[in-house]
Amino acid sequence: MLTDTIAAIATPLGEGGLAVIRISGATALAVADKSFRPVGKSSLKPSDAPTHTLHYGKITRDGRDVDEVMLAVLRAPRTFTREDVVEITCHGGLLAAKLVLDVALENGARLAQPGEFTKRAFLSGRLDLAQAEAVADLIHARTELALAAANEQLAGRLSQRINLLRDQMVATLAHVEAHIDFPDEDIAPDTKEKLIARLVSGLAFMDELLRTAEEGQILRRGIRAAIIGRPNAGKSSLLNQLLGHDRAIVSHIAGTTRDTIEETANIRGIPVVFVDTAGLREAGDTIEQEGIRRTRAMVAKAELILHVLAADEPLSAEDERFLAEFAGKKRILIRNKTDLPMKLELPSAIAGNTATTGVSCVTSEGIESLKDAIKTLVWSGEIKAEMLPAMINSRHQDALRRARVATERVIGALREGLTLELAALDLRIAVNAVGEIVGKTTTEDLLDSIFSQFCLGK
């Protein structure tokens, strides 16, 4: 399949000013020759055009013009895939882009699989596996910090560190295997201590990367924050304030929200998926019962709870029950309606052990402090620029954990004087696990799993 020429729409489907169809492979220029009719004295047939040039013309089908386009010729190896690439910019809109793609497919290209362009970039050596994953992170980034982290990884900052770690482990493995080949020569005590010190240094580096895993996953996928509370506590008003626009219907009528509403906001650089839920109370009808059931399901999935209480009302028995029910979750208690006379008193046991803050959704007072509290609760410490290159994902985390366990066994084997064959076996396991991160050791199933998560034109 790697010898096929592939094509796909590289821009989002739907109405827009422009759309881009990407073609890559050995016969990309031949496909373009059959599909494109140059117009004007300076416009050339794609196969005659110099690399990295742009040409005006028409896409034709059965002698009829399909669309007026600009066609870019990008010759190997100076392309994303290191193959010949043609990019056709046509008018936006689902039909125009689809017809241009259909012409390319009829003239010899095959529809690309999800992520196949990036997979070819990896297989050609244009990117390593960590950089290829960064392409997807770049596309899906929802905050500037997430974008910066993806750009750092795409630039190879994480890969440089991983390759250095792997090189050190490979050097240690070579030293151990050399002594296996000459069993009459024991490893000198000072040499063994140097090998152990190198492995201990590698463990410390793995631990440094593993400490970034949680933050890295937060930047990539965000966190889910469920907004809960009794009806008319101001949950929907709070959602609108956090988003900066009216998303949820706000009414003085209790129980307006019957279903969950989800929206993502950038909270101090962290993508937070806020979920506005139905008010918690004894439901009066089947629709409200279903809404409350969904509320509880969302709370179970949420990493953070924003529990809204009405500051102008005394704490009710229902409030106390729900405060106790969700005590095991990471949460912030929010006293809403602080612009009204204060009647709410929280039990000292709860107030002293739970993050609390006051807001007014009418005046916006306290909203910025609430954002600070959310960031403090989900992210330990300051988000610094030097942290971004090392923001590993869950796949990297799994590989490093396996490498760490194997490396600890190697250190134990060397210290206890066990047979070097056992140390070498575990050291190979560690080297392979670290190599998985950048794709130096991988399987077809792993590649399929990673690239299947990409969009079709990438």
Low-confidence ranges of the chain (pLDDT < 70): 1, 182-190, 245-260, 278-291, 349, 351-352, 380-390
Q: Is 363 exposed, middle or buried (0-12, 13-18, 19+ CB in 10 A)?
A: exposed
Rounded CA separation 362/313 (Å) = 17
**Strand ranges (E), 342-424:** 355-358
Helical segments of 66-143, H only: 94-106, 116-123, 129-140
Q: Is 120 exposed, middle or buried (0-12, 13-18, 19+ CB in 10 A)?
A: buried
Rg value, the chain, Cα = 29
Instruction: Enter the tokens of residue 233.
Output: 């506590």
Q: How high is the pLDDT of residue 83? A: 96
Q: Which residues of 412-439 are buried (b: 16+ CB within 10 A; e: fewer)?
A: ebbeeeeebeebbebbbbbbbbbbbbbb
- Contact between 359 and 370 under an 8 Å Cβ cutoff? The reply is yes
Compute the Cα dihedral for 406, 408, 414, 419 and give only its sign: negative
Rounded CA separation 382/401 (Å) = 25
Closest to 104 measured CA to CA, from 39, 46, 48:
46
Q: Whole-prediction pTM value? A: 0.74
Condensed to tens digits (0 to 9), the pLDDT of residues 93-152 reads 889 999 999 999 999 999 999 999 999 999 999 999 999 988 888 888 878 878 888 888
Q: How high is the pLDDT of residue 388? A: 64
- Three-state SS string over 122-161 comes to HHCCCCCHHHHHHHHHHHHCCCHHHHHHHHHHHCCHHHHH
Rounded CA separation 42/52 (Å) = 15
Q: How high is the pLDDT of residue 400? A: 94
Number of neighbouring beta carbons within 10 Å of residue 189: 8
Structural domains for the chain: 6-112 (3.30.1360.120), 131-212+391-451 (1.20.120.430), 224-378 (3.40.50.300)
Condensed to tens digits (0 to 9), the pLDDT of residues 331-381 reads 899 999 998 888 888 877 676 678 888 899 889 899 999 998 988 888 765
Compute the Cα dihedral for 53, 59, 62, 63 and give only its sign: negative
Give Cβ neighbours of residue 133 (< 8 Å, ≥ 6 apart).
153, 393, 395, 450
DSSP secondary structure letter of residue 271: E
Instruction: Enter the tokens of residue 434.
Output: 């670290």
Q: How high is the pLDDT of residue 384? A: 59
Rounded CA separation 262/274 (Å) = 6
